[in-house]
């Protein structure tokens, strides 16, 4: 975290805000804890008459739950990382930069400082990207997060549901979290479907809540736990399908959420949304690694250091070189608006 964030936490208001940010995480945790009780106790232990079937249901349930919670925990607890000192501009250079009499002078100062740094991304005026809050040269694909109060490597977006930035270090965990959350919800909804249908059978229950045909053994509030378990699992599954599918698409085209809205600008070639697209398999391996044994486990296996990334050969797409690619045209039209100094950062 940045120094501003530490200073904010020392104030009563800053402490309250830090606690407030954990509310979405606590909400998700509470829903998972309730679903565990509803599924294990009410649906399986108290309602199931087939003991062998119940054992298999619980076995697969705990497998999916473990992978789901493991991925979720790694996404939350993985740090956004720290920028190396060589990317940080000394105070005297920052003073010179802010006192420069023209944008060209500022551009020369930044380009001179970054001449030995592996940066290919530029601002609209062709200058090296600089964060005036963190006082650093921003590595390729890095952006400043106003919530975390620091620059984040390969920033995808800040997610309130994990109270963390989705970035280079936890992007694989985030995608696995979405995938296993979807599998968990679909599994719960599918295995609770039979009892959910029994609940709505006309005349199927007596006054005590027992099934007249003996199909649903849950009584009282137990059957309502099963009812809401199905509804909530199905609701979350529907929400997760589109989100998980979108991030799988981003992985396969090697693009972050921020880059999908605003194309990165390269020193050679200009704006290009497909600048990091190396092919679907290579793009997948860049996030998940090339060892299939770790693909589906929330352990770090991504390629690189988060500061430098391979770029596709620009000569393979002459349209991008000339700035005539359809995606590029959209970005150029959006960037015609005037841009304040050093504003190439995410608020």
Q: What is the mean pLDDT of each run of 10 residues along the chain (347 residues)?
A: 49 80 95 95 85 92 97 95 87 86 86 89 90 92 92 95 95 98 97 82 49 51 85 96 97 96 90 93 96 95 93 55 39 34 40
Helix (H, G, I), strand (E, B) or coil at 175: helix
Evaluate if pTM is beyond 0.85.
no
Contact assessment for residue 297 and residue 63, using Cβ atoms and an 8 Å cutoff = no
Rg (CA), the chain: 25
E strand map for 167-315: 265-266, 270-271
d(CA 274, CA 303): 18
Active-site option among 44, 131, 134, 159: 159
| pLDDT value of position 337 | 32
Instruction: Return the structure tokens found at 29.
Output: 């945790």
- Sheet strands (E) in the chain: 130-131, 136-137, 143-145, 150-152, 157-159, 164-166, 265-266, 270-271
CA distance 202 to 47: 20
Q: Residue 218 to residues 9, 77, 197, 228, 232: CA-CA distances in angstroms? A: 48, 38, 13, 13, 18
Structure-token match 């609770």, residue found: 192
Active site residue 159: yes
* Tokens 């099934």 -> residue: 211
**Greatest CA separation found in the chain?**
86
Confidence at residue 115, expressed as pLDDT on a 0 to 100 scale: 87
**pLDDT of the residue at 332:** 32
For residues 38 and 170, what is the distance between their CA atoms, to the nearest angstrom? 31
Task: Say how many residues make up the chain.
Answer: 347
Give CA–CA dist 96/93, Å, rounded: 5
At what angle are helices 221-253 and 23-36 packed, to 10 degrees? 130
- H/E element, 222: helix 221-253
- CB-count burial class (<10 Å; 0-12, 13-18, 19+) for 263: buried
Output the pLDDT for position 330. Answer: 31
Containing H/E element for 64?
Answer: helix 51-77
CA distances, 257 to each of 145, 164, 219, 230, 260 (Å): 14, 15, 47, 31, 5
* Strand, coil or helix: 35: helix
């Amino acid at each position: 975290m940045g120094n501003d964030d530490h200073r904010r936490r020392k104030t009563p208001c800053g402490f309250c805000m830090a606690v407030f940010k954990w509310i979405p995480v606590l909400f998700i945790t509470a829903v998972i804890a309730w679903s565990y009780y509803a599924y294990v106790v009410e649906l399986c232990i108290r309602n199931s008459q087939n003991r062998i079937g119940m054992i298999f249901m619980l076995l697969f349930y705990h497998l999916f739950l473990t992978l789901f919670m493991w991925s979720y925990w790694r996404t939350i607890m993985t740090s956004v990382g720290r920028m190396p000192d060589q990317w940080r501009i000394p105070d005297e250079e920052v003073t010179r930069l802010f006192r420069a009499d023209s944008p060209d002078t500022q551009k020369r100062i930044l380009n001179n400082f970054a001449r030995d740094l592996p940066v290919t991304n530029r601002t609209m005026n062709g200058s090296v990207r600089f964060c005036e809050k963190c006082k650093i040269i921003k590595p390729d694909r890095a952006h400043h997060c106003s919530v975390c109060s620091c620059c984040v490597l390969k920033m995808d977006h800040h997610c309130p549901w994990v109270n963390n930035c989705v970035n280079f270090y936890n992007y694989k965990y985030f995608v696995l979290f979405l995938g296993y959350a979807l599998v968990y919800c679909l599994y719960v909804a599918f295995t609770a479907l039979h009892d959910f249908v029994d609940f709505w059978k006309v005349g199927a229950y007596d006054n005590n809540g027992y099934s007249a045909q003996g199909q649903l053994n849950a009584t009282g509030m137990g059957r309502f736990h099963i009812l809401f378990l199905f509804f909530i699992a199905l609701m979350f599954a529907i929400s997760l399908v589109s989100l998980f599918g979108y991030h799988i698409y981003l992985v396969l085209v090697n693009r972050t959420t921020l880059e999908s809205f605003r194309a990165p600008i390269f020193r050679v070639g200009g704006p290009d949304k497909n600048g990091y697209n190396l092919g679907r398999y290579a793009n997948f391996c860049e996030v998940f690694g090339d060892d299939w044994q770790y693909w589906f486990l929330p352990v770090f296996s991504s390629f690189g250091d988060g500061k430098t990334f391979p770029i596709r050969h620009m000569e393979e797409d002459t349209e991008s070189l000339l700035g005539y690619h359809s995606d590029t045209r959209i970005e150029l039209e959006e960037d015609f608006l005037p841009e304040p100094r050093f504003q190439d950062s995410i608020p």
